[in-house]
Amino acid sequence: MGETAIAWGFFAVYLLAVGGAATVGIQKVTGFASFSVGSRDVSPVLVGLSLAANLTSAATFIINPGLIYLYGLSGVLGYVVAMPLGLILGLIVFSKAFRRVGDEVEALTVPQWIGDRFGDYRLTVFFAGASLLQIAFLVLITVGLTRVLSNVLAVPMWASMAMALGIPLLYIMIGGASAHTLTNSAQAVLMLGVALIMLGSGAAYFADGVGGFVDRLASIEPVLAQPTNPDSLLFRDWFEVVVCNLCIGFAIVNQPHVMSKALYLKSTKDVNRYLATGIVALVVFFAVMLVGLYARILMPEAGIEPDAVVPTYIVEVFGPWLRSMILIGLVAAGFSTMEGLMVALSTIFTNDIYQPLAEHLDVLSAEEIETRAVHYSRYFLALLVPVVALISWGQIVNPNLSVAILGQNGVYALFSATFVPILFGIFSKRVTKEAVFAAASTALVVHFGMYYGEITMYHNNPAVPATFALVSSVLMALAAMTAQGRWTANLEGEAAEAAAE
């Protein structure tokens, strides 16, 4: 059997498996809520695996290893150590409290959660619009999947892109969140197996221990073995490597498709099992980026585009059977997050834009609005995919270093904007809706202003503008709360004086 035939065989089995999950999922769709967050009867272990799969997409398995291939050990410290530490801390801090408040307001989405928490629907609309920034991350995943499918299945780029977008679109349109959770859980198990295979592929490079491994990197180029890389665009000093990636990891959990996972759980007591499962899987998944160093030792000339490093490494190192298994793992890594983003964005459109508008117009009955909501979620997805395809094709034919930069720029801006509303919304009783809006607006202005205004030498690393945006938004919220408190105190004082007179 030829290599391509073997790969197609594994791919067909994978498609049958996710098709089965979608079939089960559609049986659970009884209304818009079940389409959006599922039936809430799924095991917290499965939801935890779904979380890990969502947080470690094609960026972790395909795109970021290419950046580590270029820049060496500094990339490992940033992406494999600092960012996961921040992410795990963020999950622990936010998940249980977000789940509790989400139950109190019966929220289906992060924008709805914010609007209901602060009692202003305009905030819901604002953050629903901001959520479209996640299209940039969908592009990142699409480019990664397109390259892998094209390499291993031996099909043209346009055909592999059609599969990369069309397959998850089909089964999410059918089964919604129920299909998404089930397929994500199965994909996470597959990803764990593939992660261990890929990590094991470089075992021979450690024959002389970690020190010998680092020496091999240094023999290619000394800066590859250093904790910072002044010649890089992303890991030039300790601030970029550690501080920024810790901040990004901590705040990245504030994405709609991540935070909403806690709303899939039946009760708050399930959160601990959900987190434990997700964190263990996340540690393994992030370690896969070490493959970037393996690839640099195997192919030391650094003449490969970063986005093509992992597909090239797979073809160079593995035989047809293992290569096909790894293909499915990488496809699962990409599809898992793509599904989560599709469900989150379609739910935000319908739940936060269509339904409130339909209820305000008061033309349709509640039952009719509910029925149309599921249909409109699907229509939104059908319109979203061509937009993602067009941008993705531009990134393939005319890349700017790596599609990771585009993906990071969009998604980092989004969670910078949602950080204060969620953090203060959970832990502060005093924060006002005005302070929340001011903080979110500040985050977007600082992030995009610094990036596109080319402010400082760090502007081209999206993690740095995002870190400044996070800090600026927190300071703005504190300043707005202080000003609001003084204004209120002055009004109370004036009222007291008037009463005394």
91 three-class SS:
helix
Q: Between vectors from CA 390 to CA 10 and to CA 303, what angle results, nearest 5°?
A: 65
Rg (alpha carbons) of the chain, rounded to whole number: 23
Full DSSP string of 244-267: IHHHHHHHGGGSHHHHGGGGGSSS
Max avg pLDDT among 228-242, 259-273, 412-426: 228-242
Q: What pLDDT, on a 0 to 100 scale, did the predictor assign at position 494?
A: 46
Amino acid at position 43, single letter: S
**Where does the pLDDT of residue 488 fall: very low under 50, low under 70, confident under 90, or very high at 90 and above?**
low
**Where does the pLDDT of residue 498 fall: very low under 50, low under 70, confident under 90, or very high at 90 and above?**
very low
Here the CATH number for the domain that contains residue 294 is 1.20.1730.10
- Please tell me the distance from the alpha carbon of residue 143 to that of residue 398, in angstroms, as a whole number: 12
Q: What's the whole-number mean pLDDT along residues 31-35?
A: 47
**Residues 6+ away with beta carbon under 8 Å from 465:** 412, 446, 447, 448, 449, 450, 451, 458, 459
Find the distance separating the first CA and the last CA of the chain, reported in whole Å. 97
SS3 sequence of 345-393: HHHHHHHHHHHHHHHHHCCCCHHHHHHHHHHHHHHHHHHHHHHHHHHHH
- Please tell me the distance from the alpha carbon of residue 121 to that of residue 423, in angstroms, as a whole number: 19
Q: How far is CA 404 from CA 91, 140, 148, in A?
A: 23, 6, 16
**Where does the pLDDT of residue 36 fall: very low under 50, low under 70, confident under 90, or very high at 90 and above?**
very low
Count, residues in the chain: 501
Count how many domains the chain has: 1
* Structural domain that includes position 109: 3-500
Q: What pLDDT, on a 0 to 100 scale, did the predictor assign at position 180?
A: 53
The first and second tokens of residue 393, run together, are 């094709």
Task: Please name the residue that has the structure tokens 């540690």.
Answer: 283
pLDDT tens string 250-292: 988 876 556 666 666 666 777 888 888 889 989 999 999 999 9
Question: What is the pTM for the complete model shown?
Answer: 0.80
Closest among 478, 361, 466, 484 to 418, alpha carbons compared: 466
**Where does the pLDDT of residue 362 fall: very low under 50, low under 70, confident under 90, or very high at 90 and above?**
confident
Q: What's the whole-number mean pLDDT along residues 278-307?
A: 89
Say what percent of the chain tops pLDDT 70.
Answer: 83
